[in-house]
Amino acid sequence: MFFFLKYPFSNAANVSVTQADNMPLPASPAPCTLYLRKGAQRLEELEMPDGGKLLMLGDPIFEKTKSLISAISPAPGTFNERAIYENIRGHFYWFLIHSNGLRCGTSYGAVFPIYSCLQGNSISVSSSSFFLAEQLDSPVRNRRNLLERLLFNYPFFNTTWWEGIQLLDTHRYIDLTAGAATVAGNFELQSVFGQPEMSDRDSLRHLAEVFQEEASLFFPEEPFAVSMTGGFDGRTLVAAARKANKDFFTYSFGRQGNSDVVFPMSHARKLGLSYFPIYLDENYVKKESLKSARSFMALTEFNGNYGRPHYEYAARTLSEKTRYLLTGNFGSELFRALHLPGVMMSRCLIEIFATSDASWKDFLKKTTATWDEIFFKNELDALIADLETYLQGKQGWEANHRFYHFVFSEISRKYFGPELVMQSHYLRNRTPFLNLRFFRELNRTDWSGVHSRLFEKNKGKRMKGQMFYASFLRKTNRELYHMPTNKGYTPADVLEPRRLPILLGKLAFRKIFKTGEVDDHSVEAFFTNYHRQLRNDRLGADDIHFFKTHFSRSEIAIEEGYDLEKWIKFYSIATGWKAASKVTTSKIQDTTI
């Protein structure tokens, strides 16, 4: 899936549309022409009252009705982008083409990115930052973007690998008219944070009904796959699909004997469901993992990381069996209080949101010094200034609201987004938990993570999200409700007060005797086997000094025992930085469109 448009500000002509699935793009794309490639996705069209049309590229989930059209355009020439978030589910790009120009944006959550670049008297917009960079005479790599990735694992703001190419804000759209290009939109995520009006068990029953109604809209009218692991998210989707009497099969991936394979395999057998295991065994490591890792990085435009090659392998494998995949992505983030540093939340990110004084600035300076404080001096000063402005704009907000606004505006699309972008090349991933109606209803209750204490450490309070899953399962599928999870207890243990001693006992037993699963997704096996090959692919004579230094350290560290997450992050960022210096048309067309 791909789109590109070059729009001159002097334009007086209407935008034309060219579907380019079976043709190469011209070396110099024509202005005022919206080039579209569907790939594994769909292209839908709605006629607007003023004679314009709304195109949707991706996997929009909606019913064509007059009420939908009137909600989007209440009167000729008017536009209400909130109606798109409210009424059209799924992941997609949208383009409203009218007589005066074009508006373009993306669906609720902004999982699919839109990039823009000003060039003289025109603006170019695209789904591919690499394609935009190729249109520039001499694109300059962006040190500020590099610094943000090193500190936060992904860009905090809307920078890209190159100066001058920007990522569009979440829940905003680009409005193109003769003589102007503006970022527009008035949907504010905090407007649906709500207040915890309900905290009793009745609110759980209400949420269960809402989720079943919403999830049912996501189920396609053809066989599809449901991600089912040993936890709560997947089995909730399985229960919803069974209640809706849909035709589906379950799958999961992992090493043989891993709980994310053993539990769903056992549960599917007991439920009479088809189950498809994707084994990440030695054969996968030797024959598939390196190819999958390279493909994952290229298809995500190097916004992903080397810790997730198995996701590409799974998507490619599943695409031979189905066109649709349903996953529990974004589910846990709705309920749980995020609290630990990792790939989703770096320590630097936690410091910014957790400290009430300015000590986070010193923390960023200290962390930057471990890379190269001289190389990043100007970029660090500018970053701190922008962060001060960002935090000042949210003064007076509750601490957790301030953080969760970042979670759902940035982390969701910048951590999970690359995974879904990669999958979109193979199939259509539908994520029922990323749903505006359900999010709004959830935030009216005390069960929402939005209303938790910032970085809650108390495990009992952090488990409150599991109350929803358990309540939903009790209502929709009693068998799954009583089946154990890989956490050592059943959903029934979570929900029923009389089972509290049993739950506490199981938690204590697990804490004392849990041995831990070793390399359950074969990430360490992949990286240990291929880090030298990855290093040799990416290290070049023009690499900056601290990259060379860290590559040298990595050889020693990996031999002696190492922090896997740390080095995967470094190799991933170094690969992207290198790729950004080698933008060529042939490479882009082969890997990212």
What's at 265, amino acid-wise? Answer: M
**Distance in angstroms (rounded) separating the CA atoms of residues 99 and 110:** 26
Q: What is the pLDDT of residue 25?
A: 84
| Fold matches, 2-187 and 192-338+401-513 | no
In the chain, which residues have pLDDT < 50? 585-593
Tell me the residue ranges of DSSP E strands in 178-244.
Answer: 180-184, 224-227
Count of C-beta atoms within a 10 Å radius of residue 462? 18
**Distance in angstroms (rounded) separating the CA atoms of residues 429 and 315:** 9
- CA 47 and chain centroid, separation: 30
Q: What is the pLDDT of residue 452?
A: 81
Between the CA of residue 366 and those of 94, 348, 363, 379, what are the distances in Å? 43, 10, 5, 14
Domain ranges of the chain: 2-187, 192-338+401-513, 347-397, 523-585
Contact 94, 55 (CB under 8 A): yes
Q: What is the pLDDT of residue 457?
A: 61
Residues 6+ apart with CB under 8 A from 226: 234, 237, 238, 241, 248, 249, 250, 251, 325, 326, 327
**Distance in angstroms (rounded) separating the CA atoms of residues 523 and 203:** 40
Tens of pLDDT along 78-107? 899 999 999 999 999 999 998 888 999 999
Q: What is the pLDDT of residue 461?
A: 58
Residues 6+ apart with CB under 8 A from 537: 575
Q: Which CATH architecture has domain 2-187?
A: 4-Layer Sandwich (3.60)
First to last CA, the chain: 6
Assigned token pair, 252: 């999961």
Between the CA of residue 287 and those of 281, 282, 313, 447, 583, what are the distances in Å? 10, 8, 11, 44, 28
The class (CATH top level) of 192-338+401-513 is: alpha beta
Q: What is the pLDDT of residue 93?
A: 98
Tens of pLDDT along 250-259? 999 999 988 8
CA atoms within 13 A on the CB side of 437: 19
Count of C-beta atoms within a 10 Å radius of residue 418? 24
Residues 6+ apart with CB under 8 A from 221: none
Which helix H or strand E contains 507, and what residues bound it? helix 500-513
**Distance in angstroms (rounded) separating the CA atoms of residues 467 and 239:** 15
Q: What is the pLDDT of residue 592?
A: 39
**Distance in angstroms (rounded) separating the CA atoms of residues 152 and 299:** 21
* DSSP-derived 3-state class of residue 434: coil
Task: Write phi, then psi, for 6 (nearest 5 degrees).
Answer: -105, 125
Contact 449, 338 (CB under 8 A): yes
**Distance in angstroms (rounded) separating the CA atoms of residues 76 and 315:** 42
**Distance in angstroms (rounded) separating the CA atoms of residues 369 and 361:** 12
Between the CA of residue 39 and those of 36, 43, 58, what are the distances in Å? 9, 10, 9
